Structure 1
């Protein structure tokens, strides 16, 4: 059972990954028309037994439109000319996304400005107002 290590506690079974190969778009001359070098990787996030539920939820948010309604993540790699390099790139991107999903975001605790900070802000506004009020036309009395 070949495993792909993600973190110290999480590893993904290679059998959970589904790879298909197609022809890459873009420049490349005659070579691009003859080889299936682009890689389409599919990974069932919600169905994976190796991912904790919290990681699955965060990954669903981070993946965005790359995640289908059924919970299948789709990554496409076609940057390199060789199929093997594209496979490696897509797998590294998958591992990076899972690693990013393991980071628990710090909870934001709302704060209020202090009374001194409010007073300082109002004084600064009054000062700016006085400066701008002094910019009008000069009247001779």
Structure 2
């Protein structure tokens, strides 16, 4: 069952699976059946990815890729192995969908005149509020509040 997104597909031959005993619910079944699924996929050497998408993938998910360049995903959410395998494939599909298209460039915009005026008036009001908190100063027997 190949993993497919809009622009790329990954054949099953590139995916390696490992199964182990799962923690969590399941009663005595947990001690007998290897229901936890772990998916290994070599992102660094995969012929299915273009260099641009590969680089984006590695930069986006560095914590999910080990030193050998393999993506490691695991699932033990369900009590049976096939559903955990499906969950791993869905995770992989979501990760690929996230990086397959380039992020949009930000279009530079300037703040509106009213936004600038509002910011400056708020700044002035804040400064005046802080000025009012300061104690009045005596200068040659007269009160001075202009300094």
Quick check: TM above 0.5?
yes
Which of 120, 123, 135 is the aligned partner of 2:121? 123
- Hey, what's the Cα distance between the residues in 1 that align with 2:115 and 2:19? 60
CA shift in 2, pair 1:4/1:132, >3 Å: closer
Name the residue aligned to 1:6. 5
Give me the whole-angstrom Cα distance separating, in 1, the residues matched to 2:17 and 2:66: 16
Unaligned runs of 5+ in 1: none
**What TM-score do the two structures reach when normalised by structure 2?**
0.78
Q: Which moved more, 1:66-75 or 1:103-112?
A: 103-112
Q: Deviations over 1:103-133 (max 9, x none)?
A: 2112245666578765653333222222444
Question: How many residues align structurally?
Answer: 138
Q: Which structure 2 residues correspond to residues 53-132 of structure 1 after superposition, within 5 A?
A: 53-108=51-106, 120-132=118-130
1:6 positional shift: 1.8
2:140 aligned partner: none
Q: Is the CA contact 2:25–2:79 (under 8 Å) kept in the aligned structure 1?
A: no
TM score, norm. by length of structure 1: 0.81
Give unmatched runs, 5+ long, in structure 2.
137-142
Does 1:51 pair with 2:42?
A: no
Q: CA RMSD in A?
A: 2.8
Which stretch shifts more, 54-63 or 10-19? 54-63
Match of 1:36 in 2: 34
